[in-house]
Amino acid sequence: MLKVLKNLKKSFWAVLIIVILLCIQAWADLELPDYTSRIVNNGIQSSGIEKPIPEILNKDSMELIKIFTSEEDYNKIIGNYTLLDKDKNVTNEQKELVKKYFGDNYNIEVNDIYVLNKLDKEKEEELTKIIVNPIMELAVLKTPEQSNEIKEKMLENVPEPQKSVMANMELIDIIKSMPKEQISQMLEQFNSQINEMPDSIKEQAVISSIKTVYVNMGVDTDKLQNNYIFISGLQMLLVALISMVCAITIMLFSSRVAAKLGKNLREKIFKKVLSFSHSEFTEFSTASLITRSTNDIQQIQSLIAMMFRVLVYAPIMGIGAFGKVLVQSNNSMAWIIGVAILAIIFIIGTLFIIAMPRFKKLQLLIDRINQVSREILTGIPVIRAFHKEKHEEDRFEKANMDLRKTNTFISRAMSMMMPMLMFIMNATMILIIWVGGQNVDQGILQVGDMMAFIQYTMQILISFLFISMLSIMLPRASVAANRIVDVLETDPCIKDPKKAKEFDANKKGLVEFKNVSFRYPDADTEILEDITFTAKPGETTAIIGSTGSGKSTIINLIPRFYDVTEGELLVDGVNVQDVAQKDLRNIIGLVPQKGVLFSGTIESNIKYSDRNMEDEKMIEAAEIAQATEFIEGKEEKYKSEIAQSGNNVSGGQKQRLAIARAIAKDPEIFIFDDSFSALDFKTDSKLREALGKKTLNKTVIIVAQRISTILNADQIVVLDEGKVVGIGKHEELMKDNETYRQIALSQLSEEELGGDA
């Protein structure tokens, strides 16, 4: 898999952008639960008051705080506030703070206000510890019901004369008139009650006390709350918008990177296959190569499209959310996340172990059904001729059924995973609400923190869901990647030399076989043995022999489709293994035994060697190949369409177009591998006559089954069981070579042979 991923180097900058955007998206998504928590805790429950420290206090409140604190603590408190009055310059930050609580119309010069200084975290924590109790005591005094209740308790033990006087006094005035020791005793009792409170309840009580102080100062707390929720909501919306834009951009880039990787892999496989010799094609079937360059690459492409989101985004989200749970949220419920993760890992691991072997089998079954389909579609005429439609239907049905069974098994196994994972997610949420609800009831946890915990937990579990989705695709993609690498790492047995030689200009067109022997890879016996002959330019060399004697094998050695196992094969005076394959094949015009045409037009097929070929040259080649008659008979002539594999032309027409294609190339060496077999005698005769004029200075090598095609050849090589049993002209071989004589007499009478002779 890693070897395939190395091809992503060409998309380095796109991948880098994707990673950066994924980090930004992860940051944004991790911020959203925190905003939810703040809106619930600070915006809804705390009326927009964020800190357990009052940001503003009037002189009256500050003087009351002095009563409830020691002189040392009071000095620390007042040292962290700045008194704004008409005699002092007010900074913009201080103005904004006053504006936040009192609006635009508040006159600082008339009303003296204490404003909290900008504090670091350490000083803020120190101030919180000192000011919490005084603020809560101050709130009690500012609340009529609580202050009256305290006042009544204080008057219970007071003598009647003093009681009547104190009944008309405010509670604060009564406290001010009390001895310092009595005030300290009362505060000590009050502080002990505060200190016994759980932290979360204590924090809520402090916030509530600050709100009471603000209300008594004339602050519109409803407006403060609405402003906080509105601003936090806008910030949350902006963060969500950033996440959305990143997600869309990531998908666009990921799709492009995946598509580019697919394109590069297809190009590499195609170029690699073009470099294969016949030996490699026996190792990889055509159906398998098609599957590897289409279906297998599609598996990789689909994986890459979502891989970045999983491999980068999911770990960041999982680790980040878990860190947020431990740092920002109440971590007493972290064990719930651990249990959920273990359950998910168990399910994914189990299904992975079950499904992996089937994924390997699946790609082989796709190869099989492609192979069967290709064979059936190619051989339809034969199938119909032998009335074997039912047999082939059964063969296809078996391949199709095997594929269906494997696909069904994998689909069933994987379809179980998502419901099971969703069950775990929902069960986890219920467990969090149950445990969290108890903690909220006990004052250990705030509602907003529980909501944030749920969101962070869902982010962690969703990260594992992403990974589980990858686990579905990864096994099949991994198998596909290995199959692709097998093709790309296959070393062709026929290679260009490191230092290619140039052809000898003085031996142009000369083809020499010197004691050549050949056996197919993994074969036990030699197909050709000690073949020696020379084909000269300006002459026609014919090769004839019984079926299986090695005629086509000799032809395949010249353009180096195979390498000789012994001896030497020279073209233009140079061993074919010492020149570049491109240069060698550039001087050869080959017409194979089975005429091959490509979908397009007649023109594109004849001009196959050179798309910029002049029309005159194309027409001349068609005339020599005796193809103009049927071409001119078509409505669009040379622009007429050729169907796939030339299925809309006859065998003879296909063969003539293949010959015209080779003639139009105008090579040094013409090779015709039984290329006249589909032509009638008249057309064959005309074609050879026209071809003789065109190839006066060319080397012509003809493999033929029909004696009439090679009667006038300058040299006839007779093969029998892979060996040369005779070389000469027709007349000589008829006299001296029994093998040739038997072949000739099996086709023509002695009078016909003698007459032609």
Which of 1.20.120.1200, 3.90.226.10, 3.40.50.410, 3.40.50.300 is the CATH number of 596-666? 3.40.50.300
Token pair 């907003």 is found at: 448
Q: Rounded to whole angstroms, what are the CA distances from 146 to 150, 196, 635, 723? A: 6, 20, 107, 121
For domain 497-587+672-757, say whether CATH 3.40.50.300 is its number. Answer: yes
Q: Work out the pLDDT band at 644, boundaries 50, 70, 90.
A: confident
HSE, CB side, 13 Å, CA atoms: give it for residue 601: 13
Kindly give, in sequence order, each residue whose CB lies less than 8 Å from that of residue 566, ignoring residues fewer than 6 positions away.
Answer: 515, 516, 517, 518
If pLDDT is split at 50, 70 and 90, which confidence band does 87 have? low
**Rounded Cα gap, residues 286 and 278, in angstroms:** 12
Q: What is the pTM of this model?
A: 0.68
Segment 95-116 mean pLDDT: 74
Pairing of strands 715-720, 641-642: unpaired
Residue 237, both tokens: 């919306």
- Per CATH, the homologous superfamily of domain 15-36+230-488 is ABC transporter type 1, transmembrane domain (1.20.1560.10)
In whole angstroms, what is the distance from residue 567 CA to residue 515 CA?
5
The percent of residues above 90 in pLDDT, for the chain, comes to 2
Q: Count helices and strands (H / E) in the chain.
A: 31, 15
What number of other Cβ atoms are within 10 A of residue 347's Cβ?
18
d(CA 172, CA 184): 15
Exposure class string for 420-452: b at 16+ Cβ within 10 A, else e:
bbeebbeebbebbeebbeebbeebbbbebbbbb
Dist. CA 488–CA 492, nearest whole Å:
10
How many of the other CB atoms lie within 10 Å of CB of 177? 10
CB 726 within 8 A of CB 739: yes
Domain borders along the chain are 15-36+230-488, 56-219, 497-587+672-757, 596-666
Integer Cα distance of 712 and 728 in angstroms:
11
Which range, 21-25, 281-285, 305-309, 459-463, has the best average confidence (pLDDT)?
21-25
> What does the radius of gyration of the chain's CA atoms come to, in whole angstroms?
47
Phi and psi dihedrals of 390, rounded to 5?
A: -65, -40
Confidence of residue 202 (pLDDT cuts 50, 70, 90): low
DSSP 473-503: HHHHHHHHHHHHHHHHT---SS---SSPPPP
pLDDT at residue 200, as a whole number:
58
pLDDT in tens, 557-574: 888 888 888 888 999 889
Q: Quote the pLDDT of residue 495.
A: 82
Encode pLDDT of 229-254 as tens digits.
899 899 999 999 999 999 899 889 98
| Whether the domain at 497-587+672-757 and the domain at 596-666 fall into the same CATH topology | yes
Of 4-13, 26-35, 545-554, give the lowest mean pLDDT range: 4-13
Answer yes or no: are the C-beta atoms of 515 and 581 closer than 8 Å: no
Confidence of residue 366 (pLDDT cuts 50, 70, 90): confident
Quick check: 297 pLDDT over 80?
A: yes
Q: What is the Cα–Cα distance from 699 to 718, expressed in whole angstroms?
A: 18
**Strand 540-545 relative to strand 528-535: parallel, antiparallel, unpaired?**
unpaired
How many other C-beta atoms can be found within 10 angstroms of the C-beta atom of residue 547?
Answer: 6
Average confidence (pLDDT) over 123-131: 85
| Poorest-pLDDT segment among 5-14, 142-151, 631-640 | 142-151
Quote the pLDDT of residue 757.
40
CA neighbours within 13 Å on the CB side: how many for 732?
A: 11
